[in-house]
């Protein structure tokens, strides 16, 4: 599913949002959307380098989401001058907020168009439950995904469930 999302982003990097949170079972929950599609992903981190997850593409109810969020997600490559400025600010231990805001105002680009060695990714916004921003009818989907992820964890990584739950 992540490959599908990345391919969709690269075909049109405009108008994307990413919201993260935790569900009632403490699984990571990620809501990714563009103006016409949305996906919900649930993950459990097995270790710092590996996660296991499940997801679904949402149908309907995403129109209101994009209007609620102030900044669109995207990949924004830094120009050589911006890299030098960021480096100078870091060396002098000064706040880089204004420079980062300037970069965030630039248009997001597809990953294949990135030539810079440094890329700003985001914003990734946090909310307690990303699905609650869409509609109440997605609660059943959220419950189903949590149950399926728990079954998957029990089958493939039982230590992740029994040790921590």
Q: Hey, where are the domains in the chain?
A: 2-73+123-162, 76-120
Q: Residue 144: what pLDDT?
A: 86
Using a cut of 0.95, tell me whether the model's pTM lies above it. Answer: no
DSSP per residue over the chain, as a string? -HHHHHHHHHH--SSBEEEEEE-TT--EEEEEE-SS-EEEEEEEEEETTEEEEEEEEE-S--HHHHHH-SS-BEEEEPPHHHHHHHHHHHHTT---HHHHHHHHTSPPB-GGG--SS-EEEE--EE-S-GGGGT-GGGHHHHHHHHHHHHHHHHHH-HHHHHTT-
Q: pLDDT (tens digit, 9 = 90+) per residue, 102-143?
A: 999 999 999 999 999 999 999 988 888 776 666 666 777 888
Q: pLDDT (tens digit, 9 = 90+) per residue, 50-82?
A: 889 999 998 765 665 655 566 799 999 999 999
Asked whether the beta carbons of 33 and 131 are under 8 A apart, the reply is no
Q: Residue 63: what pLDDT?
A: 61
């Amino acid at each position: 599913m992540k490959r599908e999302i990345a391919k969709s982003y690269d075909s049109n990097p405009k108008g994307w949002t990413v919201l993260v949170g935790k569900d009632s079972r403490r699984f990571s929950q990620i809501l990714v959307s563009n103006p016409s599609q949305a996906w919900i992903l649930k993950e459990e981190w097995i270790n710092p380098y590996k996660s296991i997850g499940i997801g679904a593409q949402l149908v309907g109810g995403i129109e209101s989401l994009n209007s609620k969020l102030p900044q669109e997600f995207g990949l924004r490559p830094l120009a050589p001058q911006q890299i030098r400025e960021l480096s100078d600010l870091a060396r002098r231990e000064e706040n880089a907020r204004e420079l980062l805001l300037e970069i965030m105002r630039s248009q997001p680009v597809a990953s294949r168009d990135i030539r810079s060695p440094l890329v700003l990714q985001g914003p990734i916004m946090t909310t307690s439950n990303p699905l609650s921003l869409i509609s109440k009818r997605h609660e059943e989907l959220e419950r189903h995904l949590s149950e399926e992820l728990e079954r998957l964890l029990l089958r493939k990584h039982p230590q992740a469930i029994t040790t921590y739950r």
